[in-house]
């Protein structure tokens, strides 16, 4: 019997009594973190972790007015309507298969991938992985509705367009991105500098275009790997924010199997744009020296992340373990990047 699924469903039900944000704009990482903890053998820590984490969360915001098929466009990107949005999407997944609802909303929301520092799309990725791997129980369907609704409420487009059409790999493309002039700013303030950062669009467009849907998937995996590796050397630029350069594209990668293949290339483009933007806004100009920690197994690395307790460190470690699983002999740089996050991000929740 799979008792861990029961733990996950219980945790999601607890979290659905809380709002998607707290302290004005901070994202509720609970659903993402508990999914990762359960998946990597730490189900026994989930409720204790939640006991602490939920003390900082807030109630579900008050509903404003009903969103319908006729007026949803007027509510797109309005965070005051987040409860209206989650109710609207919940009605849809109650009436239709969740994959159908996801396929309808994915292209609508993808241009707004930057919303809430990419947390909504990351939450969608965790929800989809749960549904694909564990089945379609009600708390998991409800979590997808919450995640899609949150994304719709925080829908925010980047102030630049990115059109990959070059010849270089994701690793080389990330390395060639110019940094913004003033990194001591907010997320939106940093993104606003991209249009006037000399050479930024040309550098982002150097990523090669995919040949077909399968190639788009493989390129997206390479983006995730490159961003994870880059965190090892440059994560100190902003230890928390640079996590999303890897976890946001990985959320998109996790969602691809549930989407029509004709959406895979555009998904790569949006994920690359988000990862490139975050990299330019927060990456450091001087790399850190190589780590001194000895080799650890993926299980040992994740156990350290669970003990550390910070949700961003848990999520980056979750992504690093994905990257490590893609090669037969693992990926020491990816696992070292996860350990680096435990050094750079303060422990706790």
- Give the Å distances, CA to CA, from 72 to 94, 111, 175, 201: 18, 16, 39, 31
User: Does residue 86 sit in helix, strand or coil?
Assistant: helix
pTM for the complete prediction? 0.97
**What are the tokens at 128?**
């989809």
Contact assessment for residue 144 and residue 93, using Cβ atoms and an 8 Å cutoff: yes
CA-nearest of 142, 137, 108, 100 to 123 is 142
Largest CA distance in the chain: 58
User: Does residue 166 sit in helix, strand or coil?
Assistant: strand
Contact assessment for residue 223 and residue 272, using Cβ atoms and an 8 Å cutoff: yes
- Give the Å distances, CA to CA, from 287 to 92, 150, 170, 182, 293: 47, 35, 18, 18, 17
Residue 191 CA to residue 170 CA, distance in Å, equals 20
Give me the helix-helix angle, 30-39 and 46-53, nearest 10°.
160
Residue 307 CA to residue 151 CA, distance in Å, equals 30
pLDDT tens digits in sequence order for the chain, 349 residues long: 366 889 999 999 999 999 999 998 899 999 999 999 999 999 999 999 999 999 999 999 999 999 999 999 999 999 999 999 999 999 999 999 999 999 999 999 999 999 999 999 999 999 999 999 999 999 999 999 999 999 999 999 999 999 999 999 999 999 999 999 998 888 999 999 999 999 999 999 999 999 999 999 999 999 999 999 999 999 999 999 999 999 999 999 999 999 999 999 999 999 999 999 999 999 998 999 987 766 799 999 999 999 999 999 999 999 999 999 999 888 999 999 999 999 999 997 5
């Amino acid at each position: 019997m799979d008792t861990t699924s029961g733990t996950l469903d219980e945790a999601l039900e607890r979290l659905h009594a809380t709002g998607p944000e707290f302290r004005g704009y901070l994202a509720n990482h609970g659903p993402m973190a508990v999914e990762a903890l359960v998946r990597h053998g730490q189900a026994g820590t989930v409720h204790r972790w939640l006991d602490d984490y939920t003390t900082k969360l807030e109630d579900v915001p008050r509903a404003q007015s009903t969103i319908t098929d006729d007026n949803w466009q007027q509510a797109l990107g309005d965070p005051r309507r987040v409860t209206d949005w989650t109710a609207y999407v919940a009605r849809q997944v109650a009436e239709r298969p969740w994959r159908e609802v996801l396929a309808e909303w994915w292209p609508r929301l993808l241009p707004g991938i930057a919303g809430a520092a990419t947390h909504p799309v990351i939450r969608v990725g965790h929800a989809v992985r749960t549904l694909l791997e564990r089945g379609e129980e009600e708390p998991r369907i409800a979590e997808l509705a919450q995640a899609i609704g949150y994304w719709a409420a925080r829908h925010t487009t980047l102030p630049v367009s990115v059109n990959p059409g070059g010849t270089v790999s994701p690793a080389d493309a990330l390395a060639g991105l110019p940094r913004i002039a003033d990194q001591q700013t907010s997320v939106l303030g940093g993104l606003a500098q991209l249009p006037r950062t000399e050479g930024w669009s040309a550098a982002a467009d150097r990523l090669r275009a995919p040949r077909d849907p399968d190639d788009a998937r493989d390129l997206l995996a390479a983006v995730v790997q490159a961003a994870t590796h880059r965190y090892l050397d440059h994560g100190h630029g902003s230890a928390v924010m640079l996590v999303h350069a890897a976890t946001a594209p990985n959320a998109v990668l996790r969602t691809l199997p549930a989407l029509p293949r004709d959406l895979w290339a555009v998904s790569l483009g949006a994920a690359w744009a988000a990862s490139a933007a975050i990299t330019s806004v927060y990456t450091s100009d001087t790399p850190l020296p190589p780590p001194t920690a000895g080799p650890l197994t993926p299980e040992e690395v994740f156990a350290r992340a669970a003990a550390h307790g910070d949700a961003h460190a848990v999520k980056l470690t979750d992504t690093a373990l994905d990257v490590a699983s893609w090669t037969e002999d693992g990926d020491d740089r990816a696992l070292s990047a996860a350990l680096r996050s435990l050094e750079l991000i303060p422990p706790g929740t």
